[in-house]
Every structure is written in structure tokens, then in C-alpha cells.
Amino acid sequence: MAKDPVRVLVTGAAGQIGYALVPMIARGIMLGADQPVILHMLDIPPAAEALNGVKMELIDAAFPLLKGVVATTDAVEGCTGVNVAVMVGGFPRKEGMERKDVMSKNVSIYKSQAAALEKHAAPNCKVLVVANPANTNALILKEFAPSIPEKNITCLTRLDHNRALGQVSERLSVPVSDVKNVIIWGNHSSSQYPDVNHASVKTSSGEKPVRELVKDDEWLNGEFITTVQQRGAAIIKARKLSSALSAASSACDHIRDWVLGTPEGTFVSMGVYSDGSYNVPAGLIYSFPVTCRNGEWSIVHGLPIDEASRKKMDLTAEELKEEKDLAYSCLS
């Protein structure tokens, strides 16, 4: 039996990440090779012409799974009936701008998009926020879309997770598919904590801890962490543009694992609504290790946390509390 199409919204669809993301969705990379999709692409009026160009290309690519394309600058039309929403659109920080300026712009964007999703999205819509500040944008969206279950509003830290896997794989010269269970704790910002204490690598003699194989704690506690934290800035420096292909690919990974489940014994990082686990203040959107099954994520419990990790986890939580306060001050 052919499946019914799933409606997937991508906001900011005419931008760099959107341009990389929509063909991946249309090819089945996000929801599976047998899942038809109808793409809803939303962008701001100045991008309408470019958005129409993306629609033309999607039609020209003749993707078998793509059962329809909605390209619009109207939030109501964009959000109507969507089952998955990937929120890529946001206001980027420009030179000379204060954090508060960027925050207030994004607060108003996410407030209005939340209202459209609240009224018009499908009842159990899953939301992934990609635009920065991702954790706090997701929190604002949650605030103004109260009927969307809090478990359905997440933010992207899978890009950082994948970057951490990539660094370990390069360091050990092993395929990245043999590395698993790194964790990104906290904020999708340079305060995040990439943690390898629970990560392992598949070897010919079974799974071995990353620390045991790398045999260089100085690198793992220093350069490895800063490389992952600063990777976005390094790509901007090299490409003169921000990460687009890797962001799009990790958004697909995030949704695919959430919808189709994580492999047995593997956990991934997702920015989710904190329930107080690992002494992270409840009410923040914070990145935790999770496993997924039947379309639901669950935080991985019971991992031992050493003192050095605790400090880093608290530091990034502190930054998220400050961001939350700043966002709420923009609302008043």
C-alpha cells in the first residue's frame, strides 16, 4: 500500500540551508525512501522570486516521492496541515548588532510563526528549529503554540553532534559510522559541551571507549571541544558563507531518527524541553542525549557525570537562562 504523503514545512526555504535541504527531503533522505512528501516552502516577500525559482527546480528534478509543492510568503498557507516543520528562517546577526537586537527580531518572527502553526498545523506536528539562537527560538515558539505538545518542539544540535563524530573519526582514521554516542550538552552556541566520555568506536575486537583509543586526554579536553564549538565560525572563514549542506543533512538526521527511531544501543543529541534531568533547570530547551522510538524521544538516564563535565553543563545552562531572560524581556 502506498503511504499517504507527509506535509513538510521549510521556512527560509529560498536561503542557503533551505536550498540544500529541500532536495534531500524530496529524495526521501529525511522520512524514508518509501514516504511521499508534499513540500511547503515559506519565505519573506523579498525572497518570493528566488523561492519560485527553487520551486521550478524541484519540479524540474522530477523527484518520484514529491507529490506537491507549496511555495508561499503567507504564513497561514505555509503552515496549513503540516506534519513536520523545519524552521530555518530567522534574522541573522549582522555586523555591529547587539545580541538584544538579534533576539528581539527573532522573538517577533517566532512569535508570529508559532501563532500560524498553532492555528493551522496538523495536530501532532513535529517542529525542529534550526535558526539561531535555536534553543531560545524554540522556547519562544513553544510559548506561543501552546497546543503543540512540548515534546514536539525541538532544536538542532545534531549538527554539533555530527561534527563531534567527524572529529573523532578523523583523529582515529576510522569510518564515522563506527563512532557513536558522543553527546552535545546545552546550547547550540560556543558554550555547548561536546562530551566523549560515553562514546565508543567499533573495532575488530568489539566496541572500545573513545578515550581509550585516542589516548590523548589533553586533546579531548581541549582542542577537540573548541574545534566542535567553533566549527561554524571556521566554515564561515573558509567558505565566506555559513554551513548549509551540513546543517541541512543534520536536520534530516534529526527528523529521521525522531520519526523512524534510533538504532539499538545508539543515542543522539537533540535540543529538547528540560524536565530537570541531569540537574538541568526545567523549562529550558537544552541539548541532551536521547533515544527515539515510535516517533517519541526519551532522554538517556543514568550516565555518570564527572566534575569537569558538570561545570561545563552548568555553564551552558547558565547561558541559556540568560538568553531566555533576554528573550522574555523583548516580549514585554
Q: How far is CA 195 from the centre of its chain?
A: 18
The three grid cell numbers given for residue 76, joined into one nine-digit string? 497561514
Q: Which of 40, 120, 161, 188 is catalytic?
A: 188
DSSP 8-state code for residue 4: P
| Chain centroid offset of residue 44 CA | 21
* Site of grid cell 515510535: 294
H or E segment to which residue 44 belongs: none
Lay out the sheet containing 179-180: strands in order across: 179-180, 200-203, 206-209
Query: Quick check: helix, strand or coil at residue 246?
Result: helix
- With beta carbons less than 8 A apart as the criterion, state whether 214 and 171 touch: yes
Give just the sign of the alpha carbon dihedral 109, 324, 290, 244: positive
188 is catalytic: yes
CB 167 within 8 A of CB 227: yes
In order of 6, 29, 259, the CA distances from 293 in angstroms are 19, 18, 7
Distance CA 203, CA 174 (A): 9
Q: What is the residue whose three cell numbers read 582542542? A: 223
Distances (CA, A) of 26 to 33, 36, 272: 10, 8, 26
Task: Give me the active site residues, please.
Answer: 188
